[in-house]
Amino acid sequence: MPVPPPPTRPVPPPPTPRAFPEAARDAVRDTTLRANLRHATHTIRDKRARAVAELEDWQRLREAGKRIKDHTLRHLDRYLEQLEAAATAAGATVHWAADADEANRIVTGLVKATGEREVVKVKSMATQEIGLNEALAAEGIHAYETDLAELIVQLGDDRPSHILVPAIHRNRAEIRAIFRERMGRWGRPAPDDLTDEPADLAEAARLHLREKFLRAKVAISGANFMVAETGTLVVLESEGNGRMCLTLPETLISVVGIEKTVPTWRDLEVFLQTLPRSSTAERMNPYTSMWTGTSDDDGPRTFHLVLLDNGRTDALADDIGRQALRCIRCSACLNVCPVYERAGGHAYGSVYPGPIGAILTPQLRGTTSEIDASLPYASSLCGACYDVCPVAIDIPEVLVHLRERVADQGGRGHRAEKAVMRAASWVMDHPAALAAGERAAARTRALHPGRPPGAGAWTESRDLPPLPAQPFRDWWKKNRT
């Protein structure tokens, strides 16, 4: 007997991008969103800690991953040329796209040349970043997202809010409502007796998408890694929608950021250990596909690789900021971030949310818009993101660096902040001064105001935490060492 359907709330309209402070203010008032997020981030971060603890050489793998990426970035021109040569020799056609428009033109042209009007897609942040689905739609080509979470996002006219679990902000009742209301418009409708059990919802997605997989002639993917030495592309996933896209169609088009390059086949042994454990907290994700060009009678007969710059070389040119290009998109930094947990991914106004988004997006897009200028401030600088990063990106360092850049642009409130940041960085660089300052502050705490000094918008919205009776470093020394 079918379970009676639970009450549903109507599918909410998609959020509009605004500067982080405004978007976050609304997000923190949405109690459903906060509950969904808190449950999800705490579950993943606890599991991740256990998966990482299984590897006694984790810190060495982390350092190896960091160095492989830094070395690759330092010689990226050479490795990109090697990648192009190896992939071409294996049967791929390699294209170069300087920006989003060019990438969209290339992909749209390739799809049109096949004569097809629909494509299946495996979750790809690069194609979201460039707005490929919209560009294809403008040419009358329908792109179907096939990752379950991406399907939920696409059917809901929504935007992804997490790197790994893009529909993390939706609970099962909302997903059921989206499937019931929207699936029929795109193909096979959801069954009438659909419950909000995850197994039932997954089954509805399976049936809905299967008819698309079995008839698709063209697929579009991203990639987690590209091996320069061999021309091999690698996609890690769980559901099999990736394998469907990478295996069944006749034509495969992969759009990949140039920073996804690693020099050698052997380098993958590092990232295949660190990425699954850091992202889904598994020893290994259920499915990994690796393909080198095209193979006789196995998989797509035509393979196009589109190498995407779109601001990456701007990030590469920044001595401090370029470390963001090491990112392997594991999303561990999102799950530990107290700001992400409360504000949600949409507040970041970009396909890359959370701490990594706060440093990557302003580098890829620049800091001229209000939202991009606000992103380096979307952090408490607590450092938890750096601790969990499997390629040791010092996110707080880049945040402070980008704040300086934004402050240099001028604007209300920024000049005073610049002076404060300068003073703070001098103190942080001089441990004795920091310790002395902390002790002096503790002894005089009764005299401190409850709000930062100064007038205006910046200080009005901020409280100073009460000062402790003793600096933490002193307490630790006395009680724990």
Q: By CB under 8 A, what part of segment 121-150 binds other proteins? A: 146-149
**At closest approach, how far in Å is the CB of 72 from other proteins?**
8
Q: By CB under 8 A, what part of segment 59-98 binds other proteins? A: 60-61, 63-64, 67-68, 70-71, 73-77, 80-81, 84, 90, 96-98
Burial 170-195 (b: 16+ CB within 10 A, else e): bbeebbbbbbbbbbeeeeebbeeebb
Instruction: Pick from 309, 341, 372, 438 the residue near other proteins by CB under 8 A.
Output: 309
Strands 92-97 and 302-308: parallel
Instruction: Pick from 135, 175, 226, 333 the residue near other proteins by CB under 8 A.
Output: 175
Instruction: Pick from 26, 102, 139, 397 the residue near other proteins by CB under 8 A.
Output: 102
389 in contact with other proteins (CB under 8 A): no
| Six token digits for residue 345 | 């991914």
463 in contact with other proteins (CB under 8 A): no
Non-local CB neighbours of 271 within 8 Å, separated by 6+ positions: 65, 224, 225, 262, 328
Instruction: Pick from 297, 449, 469, 478 the residue near other proteins by CB under 8 A.
Output: 297
32 in contact with other proteins (CB under 8 A): no
Among the listed residues 334, 387, 397, the one whose alpha carbon sits nearest the alpha carbon of residue 62: 387
With respect to other proteins, which residue has the nearer C-beta, 322 or 346?
Answer: 322
C-alpha distances (whole Å) from 55 to each of 64, 270, 277 are 14, 12, 10
**Residue 357 — φ and ψ, nearest 5°?**
-65, -35
* Chain Cα centroid distance, residue 16: 19
286 in contact with other proteins (CB under 8 A): yes
Q: Which stretch binds other proteins (CB under 8 A): 134-142, 213-221, 356-364, 445-453?
A: 213-221
Strands 232-237 and 287-292: antiparallel
331 in contact with other proteins (CB under 8 A): no
Identify the sign of the CA torsion 279, 284, 286, 287: positive
> What number of other Cβ atoms are within 10 A of residue 463's Cβ?
9
**At closest approach, how far in Å is the CB of 202 from other proteins?**
5
226 in contact with other proteins (CB under 8 A): no
CA distance 154 to 130: 16
With respect to other proteins, which residue has the nearer C-beta, 40 or 373?
Answer: 40
Q: Which amino acid is at 471?
A: P
Q: Which stretch binds other proteins (CB under 8 A): 126-134, 185-193, 269-277, 347-355?
A: 269-277
Q: By CB under 8 A, what part of segment 147-166 binds other proteins? A: 147-149, 152, 165-166
With respect to other proteins, which residue has the nearer C-beta, 126 or 371?
Answer: 126
266 in contact with other proteins (CB under 8 A): yes
299 in contact with other proteins (CB under 8 A): yes
